[in-house]
Amino acid sequence: MSIHSITYILMAPLGLLLIYLGYQSFMTPNYPYSIYAGIPLVGLMVLYLFRPQIDYWWLSKYPVKFDEKLGEFLRERNPFYASLTGEEKTKFENRLSLYMEGRDFKAVGREQRDIPYDFKAMISAIPIELTMNKEDFLLGDMDRIFVYKHPFPTPGKPYLHTMETHVTDGVIILSLEHFSAAEKNPEEHYNVAWHAYIEAYLLIFKDDTSKIDHYASWDNIQAIGGFDEAGLLKYTGEKALDPLIVLLTLFKTRPTSFKENLPAAYADIKSFFEQSDKKLKVTV
């Protein structure tokens, strides 16, 4: 039997013990073991708070079989995954499963709640594709992904915007409305999730971009995606955008148009993303 979440299994006996001690303490005056009720309570709190990390550790040692229905879903919606075969396909699937378990996804509204499994997989496929040539497919400590239904304000940006990346806090925030639109029609809508993850990628890996920096102009961006700076600022709600991140986002989301309009840039950026971690030997 495959175990998807070891924390839930560990929480079950602790929960039963807490219920038993609580019941006995309530029914029996001066019950001598009531003082020990704090032990399972603390254990449950620790397991709850660190569930993604614990489940990730477990699944990295005992991976489960990749969900065939999820594979069918991704093949229909993710051209990169659909193109993979053999070891590369297995590598993608193993990493995707680990990423989905090792990162905390929350839909934010009046209260935080889990996001649907399919959207979780679609978002998770982005960093996995980005890091296929890297050892660190988890993107450092970027362990929390918050999704708002619509554009949102934050304390650091008290105006409506559609994406936000905080490497120090390990947080990516997205507008589901804009992400969904780009996934359904990438030729018309800019993909804010790809933008956020590419920003994190550049900040975490700090790879040398000197060979591709000169391609990052708004003229090139408009040639590929039809976006001018003012229009994209309005669409994303941002006050400023790094043209290099926008260019790399279009490389990943509009490869055909990119290759047709900027073949030299396409070749150099392809080489940039194919850089591997030479010092690291083991890959998942």
User: CB within 8 A of 157, min separation 6: which ones?
Assistant: 164, 239
Tens of pLDDT, residue by residue over 128-162, are 999 999 989 989 989 999 999 999 999 999 999 99
Classify 170 in phi/psi space as left (phi over 0), alpha (psi -120 to 50) or beta: left
Task: Output the six-digit token pair for 3.
Answer: 């175990």
Closest CA to 197 of 139, 244, 283, 153: 139
Residue with tokens 């619509």: 150
> Any idea what DSSP says for residue 161?
B
Instruction: Provide the pLDDT for residue 220.
Output: 96
pTM: 0.79
Task: Give the gyration radius of the chain's Cα atoms.
Answer: 22
* pLDDT, mean of each 10-residue run, the chain (284 residues): 66 83 76 75 82 71 77 93 93 91 88 88 96 91 94 95 95 96 92 98 95 96 92 96 97 95 96 73 40
Strand 163-166 relative to strand 171-175, pairing: antiparallel
Instruction: Provide the pLDDT for residue 30.
Output: 73
Sign of the C-alpha dihedral computed for residues 170, 177, 232 and 244 taken in this order: positive
CB–CB of 134/277 below 8 Å?
Answer: yes
Chain length of the chain: 284
Instruction: Provide the pLDDT for residue 281.
Output: 38
- The angle formed by the CA atoms of residues 210, 211 and 215, to the nearest 5 degrees, is 100
Cα separation, 102 vs 97, in Å, equals 9
Closest CA to 212 of 163, 266, 167: 266
CA distances from 136 to 59, 76, 269, 278, 279 (A): 16, 27, 20, 12, 12
Instruction: Provide the pLDDT for residue 62.
Output: 67
Q: Indicate the angle between helix axes 117-130 and 86-102, nearest 10 degrees.
A: 120
CB–CB of 54/7 below 8 Å?
Answer: yes
Cα atoms in the Cβ-side hemisphere of radius 13 Å centred on 271 = 11
Tens of pLDDT, residue by residue over 219-238, are 999 999 888 999 999 999 99
